[in-house]
């Protein structure tokens, strides 16, 4: 009986070892076979904005590289919460991805009752790019420089307004940071997406907006809006004649918008690694870097672990801004 028991234990050990071996072989096979069908990228912002445009650019190139459709699913609402929640509830199989920006990192501190936690319910995949914002006013606003705008706002507290793509978005937080650092009282007018805000600014329904250089620069050059400052640490290459907000009157001011990809928590690591490798290869290409540079965007590359640390640090950064500015989700 003892020999029989010993034999059974040895046999079970061999079977377990064999199963582990098969599992280890399945990991690279899983990545190699992925994707076997269309992949959906949920963009929690309105069509026509930077997130939508760059998601489509990356999706098209991933489709070319991997041979399956990458479908963009725009789901705007609640400052990115609607689409982000939909992604969090999706199967963690690599066939639903999420376009992320610093709107979601802001919401970690701005919104106390979200139905998801960014770092709890998602796994980082890869960053895409970042770009400066530009502060623009409708030509009817009697301020030709940032200094004149600040003086006007201080003389008429609560009379001027600024548009954004919704509470917690980079455009909103850029405005709140500006209000705090410039010492002005201007009213936030939230929209469901940046396209609507942009359209109403150009039409004169709102007076000011912080918008991505990549989408607003053409309207500046066409004279539809007046640029008062860009938000990077140095002048934008696409609007070199426009001073930074910091040099034009608000020392130390800086705000950008960045984009990346996450996946529902539990997505197989082999698939995450494959997507990271493909996205990194794409954004490292000289063609896309040249195209993006001409638009005012800079490519970003990180491993999934590095991107995870970047997101965590951004959550902490914007939590400080939310606290200092007193920004509220219903503003």
What is residue 32's predicted lDDT score, i.e. its pLDDT? 79
Whether the bond between 35 and the residue before it is cis, its omega within 30 degrees of 0, is: yes
Q: How far apart are CA 160 and CA 185, in angstroms?
A: 8
What is residue 293's predicted lDDT score, i.e. its pLDDT? 94
What is residue 171's predicted lDDT score, i.e. its pLDDT? 94
135 Cα distance to chain centroid: 19
151 Cα distance to chain centroid: 32
What is residue 30's predicted lDDT score, i.e. its pLDDT? 60
Q: How far apart are CA 72 and CA 201, in angstroms?
A: 27
What is residue 112's predicted lDDT score, i.e. its pLDDT? 85
Give me the helices (H) in 34-98, please.
Answer: 50-66, 81-88
What is residue 273's predicted lDDT score, i.e. its pLDDT? 98
Q: Can you list the positions of beta strands (E) in 154-232?
A: 161-164, 187-190, 208-212, 226-230
What is residue 88's predicted lDDT score, i.e. its pLDDT? 98
Ranges of residues in the chain with a pLDDT under 50 are 1-3, 23-27
What is residue 26's predicted lDDT score, i.e. its pLDDT? 46
132-248 and 32-130+258-325 share a CATH fold: yes
Provide the 3-class DSSP secondary structure of residue 112: coil
- Give CATH superfamily name and number for 132-248: Periplasmic binding protein-like II (3.40.190.10)
Length of the chain measured in residues: 331
Q: What residues have CB less than 8 Å from 116, skipping those under 6 apart?
A: 84, 85, 88, 122
What region does 126 belong to: left with phi over 0, alpha with psi -120 to 50, or beta? beta
Contact by Cβ (8 Å): 261, 98: yes
The CATH class that applies to domain 32-130+258-325 reads: alpha beta
Delimit the domains of the chain by residue range.
32-130+258-325, 132-248
């Amino acid at each position: 009986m003892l020999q029989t028991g010993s034999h059974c234990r040895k046999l079970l050990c061999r079977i377990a070892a064999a199963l582990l071996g098969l599992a280890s072989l399945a990991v690279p096979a899983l990545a190699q076979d992925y994707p076997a069908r269309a992949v959906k990228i949920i963009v929690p912002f309105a069509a026509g904005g930077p997130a939508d445009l760059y998601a489509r650019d990356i999706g098209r190139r991933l489709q070319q590289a991997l041979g399956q459709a990458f479908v963009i699913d725009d789901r705007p609402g609640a400052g990115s919460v609607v689409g982000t929640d939909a992604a969090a509830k999706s199967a963690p199989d690599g066939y639903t991805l999420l376009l992320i920006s610093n709107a979601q990192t802001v919401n970690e501190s701005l919104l106390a009752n979200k139905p998801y936690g960014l770092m709890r319910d998602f796994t980082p995949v890869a960053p895409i790019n970042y770009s400066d914002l530009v502060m623009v006013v409708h030509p009817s606003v009697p301020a030709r420089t940032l200094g004149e705008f600040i003086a006007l706002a201080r003389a008429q507290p609560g009379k001027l307004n600024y548009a954004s793509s919704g509470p917690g978005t980079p455009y909103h937080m850029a405005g709140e940071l500006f209000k705090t650092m410039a010492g002005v009282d201007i009213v936030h007018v939230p929209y469901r997406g940046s396209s609507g805000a942009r359209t109403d600014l150009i039409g004169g329904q709102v007076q000011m907006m912080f918008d991505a250089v990549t989408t607003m620069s053409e309207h500046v050059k066409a004279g539809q809006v007046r640029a008062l400052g860009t938000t990077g640490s140095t002048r934008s290459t696409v609007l070199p004649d426009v001073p930074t907000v910091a040099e034009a009157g608000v020392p130390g001011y800086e705000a950008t918008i960045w984009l990346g990809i996450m996946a529902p928590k539990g997505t197989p690591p082999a698939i995450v690694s494959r997507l990271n490798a493909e996205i990194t290869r794409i954004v490292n290409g000289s063609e896309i870097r040249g195209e993006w540079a001409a638009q005012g965007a800079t490519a970003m590359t990180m491993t999934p672990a590095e991107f995870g640390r970047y997101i965590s640090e951004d959550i902490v950064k914007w939590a400080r801004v939310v606290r200092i500015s007193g920004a509220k989700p219903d503003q």
